[in-house]
Each structure stands twice: as structure tokens, then as C-alpha cells.
Structure 1
Amino acid sequence: MWHYHPEIELVYINGGAGKRQIGSHVSYYTNRSLLLIGSNLPHCGFTNEQTGNINEVVIHIKPEFLGNDFFAIPEMKKIQNILSQSKAGIAFGGETKKKIGEKIEMMENQLPLERLMTLLSILDELESSDEYTILNADGFSLELNTQDNDRINVVSIT
């Protein structure tokens, strides 16, 4: 279903194949997918019963989840950069996809503080990777109100 939300979304799909539609970008993936989707960037679900995926993990990150100024400190500059780039949607490939995917799957069994540290580490590693594609490189902007989300879904269904 076509939708958007204020949370940044980190998605790891282990195995299988499918279609990804993020903003105005449409592409297909095989053998895993690792995506970082920015706040309010419209996208469709990536899996269904035919995709053959082993596991799908979705992490929602509220932009201000550590306070309004946390990512403004110098130590968080790299993470702030990747979160800013995510506004266009990013797909990661190669070893990055595999390595980060394994970390994401391990987070389920971690204690809350360890999970937070892992998330920050993942975002830092993603910013350092050169194995990525900006999905809406030419830009994608969509100004919507919350009520528009329902309209988008109604149009998608009919």
C-alpha cells in the first residue's frame, strides 16, 4: 500500500526478490535489499507472499528521537548527513547490504541501550559506504497533509 509517515525507515529484506517503489523511483531487487527512506517520502510495501523473502525488518526512526539538537553536535555530523540524504531514498548494495543486514537482524535480541548503540553504529557505517544509489537523485518533493495519506491509499486501491 502506498503510504508515507514522519519516521525515517530503515528496511532490510533478507533474500527473495521484489519491486520497490519509493517516491518517483521504481526498481526491482534480488537477493536482499537494504533501504533508508526519509521522513514523509511516499513508498509502497516491498514484500508479499510471492517474494520468497526469508525475513523483513523495518526500523522506524523518529527524526527527533534523541532530542532536537542531538544530531547537530559535531560527533553526529556523519549521521546527520545520511539522514538528510535519506529524504531522496537510498538503496545500499554489495558487502554493505550483507554486513548491515546481519547487524539489523541481531538487534531484535539486544537490550535497549545496546540496540540504540547498534542503530547509531549502523547509520555511521551507512554514511561511510560507497555502495549505494540515491533513488530520487533528481529530487522528489511532495507536500501533503495527513488527510492526503488516506486519499493516496484510496486511489491506489481502486
Structure 2
Amino acid sequence: MHKYNTITVGTDGSASSLMAVRTAASLARAYDAHLVIVCAYYNTTGSLLNSPSAEYSTLPVVSDSRAEEYLAQAQAVAEEEKATNVTAAALSGSPVQMLIDAVEKYDADLLVVGNRGVNTLSGRVFGNIPTGVARKANVDVMIVDTSSQAND
């Protein structure tokens, strides 16, 4: 039987990202896996327009304190789903690169993200996080349908 040992999921505090966290936490519980919740943020000292991966930096979290707030919300969701081995990480940088870095750092074998931006014109033209991680990840990627949270 195939088993995931470490699952990484991204959150930006949106309702759709929390749906992805809920899915990842459920999987972590089912597989008895380590769950790593990541929130990428930008230091306010740099320009968002000049970020290395600007095409993937739509609506970024701009402070570490805000990232910590979003991680606390996500951890509460993970607890509701009975995930027991949870790590929260606020990482400074572009969301796509921070998710890929977290996969490597924590030796994850599954990356979970919501599908926010995948079916939008701007997401198709300028890029979006789910597509970016699917292109760059060297592990399984699960893109959770969050269309029921389209108005977040």
C-alpha cells in the first residue's frame, strides 16, 4: 500500500486555502503522517514588484505576524481534523518557492494546495500558485477543488 509520510500544505488565510488545509489534515490523520503547514510572506523591506517570482506573488501575505495569525487558524483546522503531528512554518519569499523549499526541507512526499486562480484569466496569463507548484514540485501534488469558496 502506498503511504505518505510527510504532507505539506500552503495557506494564505483565505477560506479556500483552509479547505486545502482541511484536506491535507484529513490525509495526514489517515496516513498517520507529519503535516507541515506553510504560509509564505514578504518582508516589508523589499518591493513586491521586483520579487524574483512576481508572477506567482498575487495578493501576498506581507508580514510575519500576519503569517503567524494565518498559521494559527490553519492549525485549528488541522486539530479539528484530528491531525496529531503538525508543524507550522512562516517562510519569507514567494509562495511557490517557499512551498517547494518546504517540501525539500521537511522531506515531504505530498504537496497540497487549493485551486484558487487556476480557472481565472489573470491566473492563466500571469501564473498562479497551484500551477507553479505543480510545474516545479518533485513530489505528488494534490490540487483541491475550492470552488465552493469562490467568494473569499
Question: Does TM, normalized by the shorter one, top 0.5?
Answer: no
When the two structures are superposed, what TM-score results if normalisation uses the length of structure 2?
0.32
- Rg comparison, structure with higher value: 1
